[in-house]
Structure formats: C-alpha cells, structure tokens
Amino acid sequence: MGQSRLPAEVLKSIKLLARRIRLGRESGKLSARGDTVILSGASGSLSKMAAEALASELGQSTYQVSMSTVVSKYIGETSKNLERVLSRAARMDVVLFFDEADALFGKRSEIKDAHDRFAKIDTGVLLQAIESYPGLVLLASSKKGNIDPAFLRRIRYIVEFAEPGESR
C-alpha cells in the first residue's frame, strides 16, 4: 500500500508529522522513547496506509501488533504478551502499529471484583511498556474517546482524519 493511495490531506499531515518528529529528535528536544501517536477517526485500511507512510517517511518499517496475539482472557497474560512483542519489536527497530487500539488501551472501568483489579493492573503495565518502548508507537482508533484518559495524557501527537465525505 503506497503513499500515492492516501488522500492528499492525509499524506500532507503524515509528512508534517514525520518532519516534526525528525526535527524534535535531531534537536535533542524529543527522544524516541515513548513517542506515541494516535491515528483517530480513520477506517482500518486508511490507518494502516497512514502508519506505513509515516514509518516510510522516518526510514523505518511498521510492525503491526495483532490484538489476537496480545489480548488474553487470563489475568496477567496480556501484559506478558505485550512485553514479549515490544521486546521483539525493539530489537527490530520498527514503528509499532496497534490497529483498533481501543481494544487494548480502552477506558478502565470501576473496580467491582478481583478480575477488574487485575485488569487495571494490566492497563498500568501496558502504559509503562509503551512509554519505555525505544521507538515510535502508533495507535489507530476510529474513536479516540474510547481510549483510556491515562493513555491520552501521554500521547505526544494526535492525527484526526475526516470521515469519508466530511471536510475539516
């Protein structure tokens, strides 16, 4: 999927973001560690193309994290799976791409039982793991509002795409 298939407005936003990231890193004002971008409001295919275009602009490849290999119904396993993926990706020096990120980084609910307590701990571990990743992390979500506010406070860049037929 090439950059030429991206809408001109999206490609312009991606190039501007890549420039800001490069300038921040070159100036020493931004480290690569913990840089996180939300791609919000786009369909899955547009988000994936935008992620690939951004990685390409930065001279890197994307590593798409499959939610099915990370999310587990067993307490504590999601965190372990994510740490394994992040460790592998760090060795590969890639831009991490989480499509449908709200499935993993969704809002935490009120604690009602032990399972909720462990889920909240998992979310805290996820947050720390993303912040310590030595490269760029892209989170795609069709609805930014579904992402946990604790994650949103730590997001460096938010790219919001217009819905098809909508102008911004």
- pLDDT of the residue at 1: 46
Q: Which residue has the tokens 């690939």?
A: 52
pLDDT in tens, 53-103: 999 999 999 999 887 778 777 877 877 888 888 889 889 989 999 887 776
Which H, E and C letters describe 120-144, residue by residue?
HHHHHHHHHHHHHCCCCEEEEECCH
- How far apart CA 121 and CA 116 sit, in angstroms, is 9
Token digits of residue 22: 């490069």
Domains of the chain: 3-160 (3.40.50.300)
Report which of residues 26 and 62 the model is more confident about: 62
Query: What is the radius of gyration, based on Cα positions, of the chain?
Result: 16
pLDDT in tens, 96-125: 998 877 766 666 554 454 444 444 556 667
- How far apart CA 47 and CA 35 sit, in angstroms, is 18
With b for 16 or more beta-carbon neighbours within 10 A and e for fewer, the 43-60 pattern comes to eeebbbbbbbbbbbbbee
